[in-house]
Chains A and B, each alone.
Chain A
Amino acid sequence: MYRLKEGILDKSFLNDGIEQIDAILKEEGISRRDAMKMFGLGGAAMMMGSGAITEAKASSSAKGKILIVGGGLSGIAAASLLMRSLDEPDITIIEPNEKSASYQPGQTLVGGGVWENSDTEYMTEDFMPDGVTWIKEKAVEFDPDNNVVKTNSGQSVAYDFMIVAAGLKLDFAQIEGLGITDSITSRGDDSAVKNAIGKNGIGSIYFANGATNTWKLMQEFIEKAKSGQKVQGVFTHPNTPIKCGGAPKKIMYLTDARLREADARDNAELTFYPNGGKMFGVPEYHEAIVKQFETRDMKWNYNHNLIGVDPQAKIATFYKHWLEKGEYDDVLEEYSMVARGEKVEVPYDFLHITPPMKAAEEIANSPIGSDQGWVPVIKETMQHVKYPNVFALGDIAAVPMGKTGGSARKQYKVVVENLISVMEGKELTAEYGGYTVCPLITSLSTVMLAEFDWSGKPTPSFPLDPTQERWIWWLLKVYALKPMTQYGMLAGRA
């Protein structure tokens, strides 16, 4: 099907077609039921489209014991594709969490009151491919020189080849004043944070209960604004790499939209406090977002990193940083710059925290980890820089801009293809180009589909201006991406 891509449809025809449909939808709207029906079919069509490629691949008779650490989206997708690509697959997954196959991208929609938690929660056993051995434990020790991993029960698991897809940890403990000392994951035990996050106006969509509570807190915030009180909404973005880099803004757009829906926007001031100095690394998207913020009277203060919260006084403390002119530099023929900073206190009524994120310590401190924690791989082949029989993908991999489901969707195919090449003693030929995608939710009916890669330029999959907010991408986000992910990608077919 893909081979027909260029020939079958003239690009301008497709462009006009989608533009027109986008306009019709804007005018007529579409009921939830109709959208579900249509997108269900569409999603199936898309899966068939992508499936055609992977089905066409010849199967391999290569042998070896493959261990996958982590049974989230990346780990299961890789396992599924390996099961179909090898004649005699021998695959073990170590994953302690029974809900690791849940649909994380839906948490933003839960936080905005569009979905409920049950729309995002999935049992891992329903997605574990037949024939895979599932060890429901945690990998705690890595000995890549002897090809052995130890689990929390003390069990040693030997392997010939390993794929690390362990995800990342949410580290609220780096923020002072919350009384949090341990890190958590997006699903599973959140007892380390539940006394601080999800109450007193502090929300976070980055974990399941946090998302549910964010919606409750947002409603309280809106009620206050509606009653005539002047309220402050504060949205943070930390100084560590994070998964889904767009989510800190998406929840802000949704707050804006919900306030407008309640006719209470005028009483609320919404401000984005990111550690960085821009909205987006890709200039085209940066400019589009700045305009969207201005149109909505959403404010921002760059170069602010959240370092503390006083939940009683409702004050957030940021480290504000900037560059000052230093001595003259005769090589640059410019004044050199000196970094300066100070603490800034910001009162809030509603605070959305995007927590600092890190690799799990047992991985970071092991021989397969790195100074930064993330598992270092050759970014094109996803092969470990020191251990050729080890690959990594998803949130744990040390590649720029790679922590999204969209990245993982490209990475798992590269990993599987290259792993099979290693097993067969061949050269690695599959390359990841850094593709990632952020369906940036900008209201309750629009999304800007920001696709980009390491070139730092937009890389749209569709012949449409990617900087526009569109109805059709809202429908894609709300109705099509989940079935594509859960039934396409987890099955190694999309």
Chain B
Amino acid sequence: MKKTAAIFFGTLMMMALSGCGDDTNTKHEVKNYKYTTAEVYAKMCVKCHGEKGEGVKKEKGPALNDQEVYELKTGITDIKMGGIGGHSGGTEHEIMEHNMQKIIDKGMDYDTDAMAQYIYDNFNINK
């Protein structure tokens, strides 16, 4: 037992040194997307969310032009990850989650934060 205990403590020291809870903010690789956010919006989003994010009732596409950047970011994250909890809570945007997968399959993936910013900068009516 002593031997195990000794090894054990050694490991913990290693864990300590390896930084259990590394505090540097890891920046992830920047993904290169095939199309710009503007192109993706024009091709994939306009039909249901409208030319200016005003929403299209007939297509049941909600308006995006009254949402703040943080709401857009959270909403798109929810759609892309199938829920914002990370586990089994599911998404509030079930249909859009399905559509998003189709959009990705078509090679039209986009950066979440960039899309949120694009929609806000170009369409927001409360600015």
Contact = CB atoms under 8 A, between A and B. Distances in A.
B4 interface: yes
A274 B89 contact: yes
A280 B18 contact: no
B16 A278 contact: no
B63 interface: no
B114 interface: no
Given A38-B12, A323-B94, A49 B87 contact: no
Given A239-B89, A379-B73, A400-B84, A17 B23 contact: no
A332 interface: yes
Contacts of A50: 20-21, 23
Contacts, number: 216
Contacts of A21: 7-8, 11
Interface centre among B85, B91, B98 (most CB of A within 10 A): B85
B88 A280 contact: yes
Interface string B8-48: 11111111111111111111100000000000000110010
Contacts of A459: 26
A392 to B, nearest CB: 12
A276 B14 contact: no
Nearest to A236: B88
A50 B20 CA distance: 8
A199 interface: no
A46 B21 CA distance: 9
A110 B23 CA distance: 30
Contacts of B73: 379
B20 A46 contact: yes
B interface bracket (residues with beta carbon within 8 Å of A): 35 or more
Contact of B88 (A245, A333, A400): A245
A400 B77 contact: yes
Given A21-B8, A31-B1, A41-B12, A279 B90 contact: no
Contact of A401 (B8, B19, B47, B86): B86
B15 A241 contact: no
Given A17-B11, A377-B70, A461 B88 contact: no
Interface stretch (A3-11, A58-66, A136-144): A3-11
Nearest to B3: A24
A101 interface: no
A8 B10 CA distance: 14
A48 interface: yes
A281 B13 CA distance: 32
Contacts of B69: 385
A9 B89 contact: no
Given A42-B12, A245-B89, A279-B87, 7 more contacts: A4-B17, A17-B14, A248-B88, A339-B94, A379-B74, A399-B74, A461-B22
